Amino acid sequence: MGLGSVRARILVSIIAVSFLGLTVAGGAAYLVQRDRITAAVDARLLQRVESARAVVGGAGAGADAGATGSDSQSTDGAGVPAVPSGDGFATTRGALHGVLERVVPGRFEGALGIVDGRAAFVPGVESDLRLDAVPGFVERVATESADDDAVRIGTFAESGHWFRYVAAPVGVAGDPQRGVYVDAIDLDGALADLNAAFVTYAAIAAGAVVAVGLAGWFVAGRLLEPVRRLRSTASRITVNALDERIPVHGRDEVSRLTETVNGMLDRLDDSISSQRRLLDDVRHELKTPITIVRGHLELLDPADVDEVRATRDLAIGELDRMVELVDRIELLAEVPADSPVMEPVDVAELTRTVHAKSSVMPGHDWRLAATADVTVVLDPRRITQAWLQLVDNAAKYSDDGTQVRIGSTRGDGVVQLWVDDEGPGIPPGAEARIFQRFGRVHAGRGIRGSGLGLPIVEAIAGSHGGRVEVSSSSAGSRFSIVVPIDGGAGRAPAEGEENG
């Protein structure tokens, strides 16, 4: 999937989370505030009933109405109580008239007096809500209040109107007429300020989401810039052009990914360069025996039996040398990729085993010079293979009958597995050359072998986290495989234990 789609997914996620958060926060705040306003409306309506009761002058049980979201409900208390005819109001109509004169509707509020199911009185001042003009409202209140004297509070949402109302029956003793005092508050008007604030909030939130989207697009682009450069660089890299690297900026995760990719490119470059050098060396090394065999075959006299036999022996010898060369190349390629099988090994016993295997080789005086009494975690098969390669080198490059010493010693956190010979030594400055593939020197040591032995030894030592050391003079050479002791697994040798 392309970089653009990744950037788009990041941006969509940022916008979605921002939008959801702002919507939930704003919606929750709106609903909480709306419930508070609705509760305040109900409290104000009930306060109007108390004011009406005070006007009529009666002392009855307090009305306690509360809204539960139903269309209308009755309170537990009685309505505005009946008043004796001698107490100021002789008729129900007079009581309602007195209430409507004294109770002044507030903002978004309206009041109405109903007598025997018909609208009879309205406030003497202009009000925001004309209840007598609302179709069906008077009939509804009259029907609800026809059966008992309970105060009712409810919601009217018909004919384009939406308001909360309270209906309190009013009566005077001895007057058969039935009156109802009604007070209502328009919910649209009561919630107008809140709705306006929420609209403002929605506009600001939308602007914030747009700003977050723009910032997210810019930030995502900056963060993905190294990935874009990585893709662009990777598209230009080929086997013949591995030298290009990706610039690293910052210390974040993407920068560390860039560093990792650069490191991978370095390793690929080294590996391919090494393979090229190996192929060049192999081509060079195989060219000689092929040329030798071809030259002898071209000059061969088939009638000369002795010449045929000699040419056959020479060709077989050269083919054997090529087989050995191929086997060593395969081993050299196998060692770095083959993880060593590590196990605790007694170095002293390993030293004696290598000496025993070496002592059957003719032509030299093989001596066990020293043993290190220590246990080291290593791969005994690979280490023995490398050690015997050093033994083979010593046998090749030292005169017959000379002494070759094999030993092991413990150093500071390492153990050295070494071979001493009495050969002519390595020419000064040639120490690095002998560890290169097919690297051989010509001096008193002559040119022998494939030139792959020491690189194999070095690869095996490296797979154990170690190295190969060499010290040489005209009196002989010492080659040592140096491997670390794993976490102090061995014990320090006692006094005199190293001399074997």
In the chain the first and final C-alpha atoms are separated, in Å, by 67
Final residue of a domain: which of 300, 318, 335? 335
Cα–Cα distance, 345 to 377 (Å, whole number): 6
Q: What's the DSSP call for residue 457?
A: H
Answer for the pair 138, 117: CB distance below 8 angstroms, yes or no: yes
**Domain match, 444 and 356 both:** yes
**Domain match, 179 and 117 both:** yes
**Domain match, 185 and 272 both:** no
Render pLDDT for 378-388 as a digit per residue (tens, 0 to 9): 988 889 888 98
Final residue of a domain: which of 307, 335, 363? 335
Task: Give residue 439's domain range.
Answer: 339-488
Length of the chain counted residue by residue: 500
Cα separations (Å) of 489 from 60, 119, 347, 414, 418? 98, 106, 12, 11, 21
Cα–Cα distance, 255 to 243 (Å, whole number): 19
For residue 406, what is the enclosing H or E element?
strand 403-410
CB atoms under 10 Å from CB of 151, counted, come to 28
**Domain match, 331 and 344 both:** no
Question: Which residues fall within 8 angstroms of residue 8, CB to CB, at 6 or more apart?
Answer: none
**Domain match, 54 and 129 both:** yes
Cα–Cα distance, 233 to 168 (Å, whole number): 84
pLDDT of residue 86: 33
Q: Is residue 93 part of a domain?
A: yes
Cα separations (Å) of 446 from 362, 393, 396, 397, 442? 20, 12, 9, 8, 5
**Domain match, 290 and 413 both:** no
**Strands 403-410 and 365-370, sheet pairing:** parallel
**Domain match, 403 and 437 both:** yes
Residue-wise over 385-423: b if at least 16 C-beta within 10 A, else e?
ebbbbbbebbbebbeeeeebbbbbbbeeebbbbbbbbbb
**Domain match, 421 and 398 both:** yes
**Domain match, 298 and 371 both:** no
Question: Which residues fall within 8 angstroms of residue 132, CB to CB, at 6 or more apart?
Answer: 112, 119, 122, 138
Rg (CA), the chain: 53
**Domain match, 262 and 188 both:** no
Residues of the chain short of pLDDT 50, as ranges, are: 1, 58-87, 442-449, 487-500
Tell me which residue of 401, 396, 336 sits closest to 366, measured CA to CA: 401
Final residue of a domain: which of 303, 335, 367? 335
Render pLDDT for 51-79 as a digit per residue (tens, 0 to 9): 888 887 643 333 333 333 334 443 333 44
CATH of the domain at 136: 3.30.450.20
Cα–Cα distance, 443 to 427 (Å, whole number): 7
Cα–Cα distance, 127 to 47 (Å, whole number): 18
How many domains does the chain fold into?
3
Phi, psi of 345 (to 5 degrees): -130, 135
Cα–Cα distance, 72 to 89 (Å, whole number): 30
